[in-house]
Structure 1
Amino acid sequence: MTVLDRPVRTGAALKIRGLRRSFGSAVALDGLDLDVAPGELLALLGPSGCGKTTALRVLAGFEQPDAGQVLLDGEDIVPVPADRRDTAMVFQSYSLFPHLTATDNVAFGLRMRKVRAAERRARAAELLELVGLAGHGDRFPHQLSGGQQQRVALARALALRPRLLLLDEPLSALDARVRLTLREEIRRLQLELGITTVFVTHDQEEALSMADRVAVMNGGRLEQCASPRELYERPATGFVAEFVGTMNRVPGRVVGDDVVEVLGTRLPVEGPGGTGDVRVLLRPEALELTAGGSAHVTSSAFHGPTTRMRITLPDGTDVTADVPTHTAAELSPGSAVTVTPRQRPVLLASWDGAA
């Protein structure tokens, strides 16, 4: 029977309730509540110091919270030592034993649990094959690339068949091409094994492309937890709206109930409204450019099918617009343009107190 025939114990439900952790006067977690569904991959995303890594370390047992519960299938694991939690963690620094081969690194946890040698080596070989490293078992870490070392670390974490897999920015030390390949592999394995996974990253593209849901944190609190599409299209707060993706703030004026006029166009307001002069939040793809006008293109950057252009409006406001590359040639830097928002609901920057 193979590792795939005998998958990890899948479907653990994780509930975080009222988690608090302070370091002196610095509050890292301020009453965090979060649910992770069985078999879900949840990404924790936020700026440096938001508490996402502290939350992960509390889940792993490397930090003790000041208050709160971590319920894994209904059991509070806060009092349980890290080595008895039935969780596994993959670090950004690989943390492989340099004097052990790939096979022995993967089998290390099994050896600590007194699994027989033959079974250890068989399971390690199966897992190395699962992560695309068949035939590399006798190599030492220094003989492997960064991406290969991280695959070994992932295989080692899966060897114990944990109920909860924790990933601490595991791709940040890799180059862009390897990072893209490995994040697809991690997602494939997670879906194949059905293991509940919490993934910490500072990379928005990773979070939005890999996760079932993304939890955006700020100042130790949860701002919003939703699917990538919902976060991008229907942010719950101004912080989320401006943190996830690129957002323009454009002067506008409320001219009626839930209607704002911006760049000469009237648009419906989604979410809390305002009065008088406001700042309207517009994504780069929500702006259309046409040749001629009183705005000017200041720079452009080729992004494959789209070109990202920086435009200065007549009032001096700088905005970013994504336009189809096949139309961008006629809108080179220095060109006079007209900027028009597409007809879709917009958010106001002042809706949650943002300046």
Structure 2
Amino acid sequence: MTASVEFRALRRVFGKTVALDGLELVVAPGEFVALLGPSGCGKTTALRCVAGFERPDSGAVLVDGRDITDVPANKRDAGMVFQSYSLFPNLNVRDNVAFGLRVRKVPEATRRAKARELLDLVGLPSYADRYPHQLSGGQQQRVALARALALEPRVLLLDEPLSALDAKVRVALREEIRRLQDSLSITTIFVTHDQEEALSIADRVAVLRDGRLEQVGSPAEIYNRPATPFVAEFVGTMNHLPGQISGDRVRVLGQVLPVDGAVPEDPSVDVLVRPEAVTVVPDEDGGATVTAASFRGASVRLRLRVEGGDVLADVPGHEAARFTTGTRVAMRLVERPVLVAARTATVPAPVVAADAL
């Protein structure tokens, strides 16, 4: 049986550092929610408050409406998987998986049967007698996941479990975690600083900043309709283009587009535009020049030099040959509402996000 989890006005302070500042969030039964944000935003602290490893200074953690803030960690019906695996080196895989059952004095035959079932579930049925040092990083994390599931928790907590793995293994294992979560319908909270990871695996993504919830929504909502400039910047790459506000519209690069969201008081703004919303075609009389191209398989990211700065644009990968360095192009923004922010840049604009190419 799965459970709802609620963070209610959660606050946690370490010295002068405010890790959580009134966090409010509800995770529905069986839902997979990713807590996403930069280092120090409070996402791991929030997870540890659910697990019982941290006690908030104020506010409460509720599971199915029951306040568990003061319940000891070993009395909470939650399983946690850490970044560092935390397997017992002196125990084989079977005994690592069954460790929690042994602590609860479950009979050995039952423990072995449960361990066998879970190793089948995570794709390691033939590894029961091996020791952690005989496993790859991805295999060790699968064992850690099986161990967390052994006690049949109502809530699964994952604290950046994939960050220590190489890229290919990370992608495969995140798909495996999603498959397991779907098959078990277990309420899952997944902490990560990796935007692609959060968007690809979660039902909803909660973006945190300085201990507060900046936005929560589906991956498509977070990416396509960021509620704030911070979310727009943190999730994906953004161009910053100079614009002038007039009413609820903004003039940018010779176009007039509707504004999505709040409008700053100052009419001089930064218009935030993703690279895929910039269309380009080769044109000898165009106002932009390709200065770099980065092949990304399905797409090519171009750096375009325009008067005053650079702009990033994505074009289909099969068109790479049309956009070699030095190619003159005509550039236009997709006709759709754009997010704007108060002008902050003091350097000549347009400018692009720091991760650029």
In structure 1, the partner of 2:144 is: 153
CA distance in 1, matches of 2:226, 2:344: 14
Q: Which amino acid aligns with 2:223?
A: Y
* Cα distance, 1:336 vs structure 2: 2.1
The 5 Å alignment of 1:233-272 reads 233-254=224-245, 256-272=246-262
Matched, 1:340 2:332: yes
Task: Determine helix, strand or coil for the equivalent of 2:98.
Answer: helix
Q: Could you report, residue by residue, the CA deviation over 1:100-154 in whole angstroms, capped at 9, with x for unpaired residues?
A: 0100000000000010000000000000000000111011111111111100000
2:315 aligned partner, one-letter code: V
Q: Render the CA deviation track for 1:144-198: whole Å, top value 9, x for unaligned.
A: 1111110000000000000110000000111111111110000000011010010
> Which residues in structure 2 correspond to 1:100-139 (within 5 Å)?
100-139=91-130
Q: Following TM superposition, by how much is the alpha carbon of 1:354 offset from its aligned partner in structure 2, in angstroms?
A: 6.4
Deviates more, 1:297-306 or 1:92-101: 297-306
TM-score, with length taken from structure 1: 0.94
Distance in 2 separating the partners of 1:348 and 1:142: 51
Match of 2:148, as an amino acid? A
Distance 1:230 1:136 in 2: 41
Which runs of no fewer than 5 residues in structure 1 stay unpaired? 1-8
Residue 286 (structure 2) pairs with residue 296 (structure 1): no
Distance in 2 separating the partners of 1:273 and 1:24:
37
Say if 1:87 and 1:166, in contact at 8 Å, map to a contact too.
Answer: yes
Is there any run of 5+ residues in structure 2 with no aligned partner, and where?
346-357
In the other structure, the counterpart of 1:206 is: 197
What is the root-mean-square deviation in Å for CA atoms of aligned residues?
Answer: 1.2
Q: Percent of counterpart pairs with the same letter?
A: 65
The one-letter amino acid paired with 2:175 is E
Distance 1:106 1:326 in 2: 47
Runs of 4+ in 1 over 3 A off after TM superposition: none
Which residue pairs with 1:4 in the alignment? none
What SS does structure 1 have at the residue aligned with 2:231? helix
How many residue pairs were aligned?
342
Contact 2:295 2:320 in 1 (8 A): no
* 1:259-290 CA-partner distances (Å, limit 9, x unpaired): 21211112111112345322111110000112
Amino acid at match of 1:284: P
Higher mean Cα deviation, 190-199 or 324-333? 324-333
Cα deviation, residue 294, structure 1: 2.7
Match of 2:221 in 1: 230
Contact 2:270–2:344 (Cα < 8 Å) also in 1: no
> How many Å separate the matches in 1 of 2:124 and 2:112?
14
Query: How do residues 177-196 of structure 1 correspond to structure 2 at under 5 angstroms?
Result: 177-196=168-187
User: Aligned letter for 1:151?
Assistant: R
- C-alpha offsets along residues 290-326 of structure 1, whole Å, 9 cap, x if unaligned? 22323221211111121011112112x2221111122
Match of 1:140 in 2: 131
Say whether 1:308 aligns with 2:301. yes
Per the normalisation by structure 2, the TM-score is 0.93
